[in-house]
């Protein structure tokens, strides 16, 4: 475990009495390196100048979020340019398999927790967000962005795809090209990337113990967050969120489209940056999504 000495020196400067009895080092993230000290203290170090800006914005988001959501989220106890620290939230990633192995009552409770979180997040008053200096999410896409993505996919990916895959992509984008799919929305606070490894599950209580990583959060389309949950758990589970997330019928079609684009976006990034790990980033999506226009009931 080759943790840069500068990281350890920074931690000691902020926590002079800390002992390094156990250290975990994670470099997998695109924005931060993470050092977890003694299973208790999370220290995140921005990898780039852009990452420093992301951390600063995430701090503004979390100041607001922790006042409006029931589930535990990180509370930054130290923040400076390029470095933050907060207490470790215990739990394991809430995978689809983990959720489906629970009995019916426990499944329902976890799905309700997930739905209530999104309802609370998406209901935070815009004036509160504006006063806090919360800006747009990095996940925001305009209709023109989607059309450009379609062109890039055809140009870059089609030479590597079989005919049935190309047909699937044409069918995915057809409602956008024709204008049949209404892409308009009222901006709300979205997370933008609440993947399974950002949703922490406590196997002792069979409940969600907390949510981490709000680096892509900001104002945007709520359908983006529902799209991520479609990719995490599939539509049969997401449909069960409706009683606690009543705006589901209004966002589901945009979410169905959005989740279909995720692996295309990552595949393009993998080719652009010559990094095969990016192209493989969405292996394991639930893939259980109804066609655009399918009624929920």
Average pLDDT over residues 247-262: 97
At residue 290 the predicted structure's pLDDT band, cuts being 50, 70 and 90, is confident
Query: Looking at residue 30, what is its pLDDT?
Result: 78
Q: How far is CA 51 from the centre of its chain?
A: 16
* CATH of span 14-87: 3.30.200.20
Domain boundaries, the chain: 14-87, 92-279
Local structure of residue 47 (DSSP, 8 states): S
DSSP letters spanning 95-135: -HHHHHTS-HHHHHHHHHHHHHHHHHHHTS-HHHHHHTT--
Give the pLDDT confidence of 174-233 residue by residue, as tens digits: 999 999 999 999 999 999 999 999 999 999 999 999 999 999 999 999 999 999 999 999
Angle between helix axes 143-152 and 248-272 (nearest 10 degrees) is 40
Return left, alpha or beta for 36; rule: phi > 0 is left, psi -120 to 50 is alpha, else beta. Answer: beta
Give the pLDDT confidence of 59-79 residue by residue, as tens digits: 999 999 999 999 999 999 999
Average pLDDT over residues 79-99: 97
Give the pLDDT confidence of 145-184 residue by residue, as tens digits: 999 999 999 999 999 999 999 999 999 999 999 999 999 9
**Shared fold status for 14-87 and 92-279:** no
Share of the chain above pLDDT 90, in %: 88
Distance separating alpha carbons of residues 289 and 287, to the nearest angstrom:
6
The CATH label, of 3.40.50.10890, 3.90.1200.10, 2.60.120.260, 3.10.180.10, for the domain at 92-279 is 3.90.1200.10
Distance separating alpha carbons of residues 201 and 208, to the nearest angstrom:
4
pTM of the model: 0.94
Arithmetic mean of pLDDT over the chain: 95
Query: Looking at residue 37, what is its pLDDT?
Result: 97
């Amino acid at each position: 475990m080759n943790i840069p000495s500068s990281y350890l020196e920074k931690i000691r400067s902020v926590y002079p009495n800390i002992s390094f009895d156990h250290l975990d080092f994670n470099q997998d993230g695109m924005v931060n390196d993470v050092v977890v000290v003694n299973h208790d203290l999370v220290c995140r170090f921005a990898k780039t100048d852009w990452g420093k800006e992301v951390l600063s914005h995430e701090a503004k988001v979390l100041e607001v979020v922790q006042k409006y959501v029931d589930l535990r989220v990180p509370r930054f106890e130290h923040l400076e340019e390029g470095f933050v620290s907060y207490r470790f939230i215990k739990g394991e990633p809430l995978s689809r398999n983990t959720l489906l192995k629970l009995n019916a009552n426990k499944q329902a409770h976890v799905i309700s927790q997930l739905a209530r979180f999104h309802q609370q997040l998406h209901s935070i008053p815009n004036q509160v967000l504006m006063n806090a200096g919360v800006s747009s999410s990095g996940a925001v896409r305009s209709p023109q962005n989607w059309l450009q993505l379609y062109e890039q996919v055809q140009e870059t990916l089609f030479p590597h795809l079989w005919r049935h895959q190309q047909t699937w992509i044409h069918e995915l984008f057809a409602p956008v090209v024709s204008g049949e799919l209404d892409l308009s929305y009222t901006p709300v606070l979205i997370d933008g990337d609440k993947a399974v490894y950002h949703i922490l599950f406590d196997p002792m209580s069979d409940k969600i113990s907390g949510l981490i990583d709000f680096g892509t959060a900001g104002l945007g389309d709520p359908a983006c967050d529902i799209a991520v949950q479609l990719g995490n758990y599939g539509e049969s589970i997401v449909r069960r969120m409706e009683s606690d997330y009543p705006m589901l019928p209004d966002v589901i079609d945009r979410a169905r489209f959005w989740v279909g684009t995720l692996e295309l976006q990552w595949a393009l990034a993998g080719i652009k940056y010559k990094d095969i790990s990016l192209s493989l980033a969405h292996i394991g999506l639930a893939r259980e999504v109804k066609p655009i226009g399918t009624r929920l009931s």
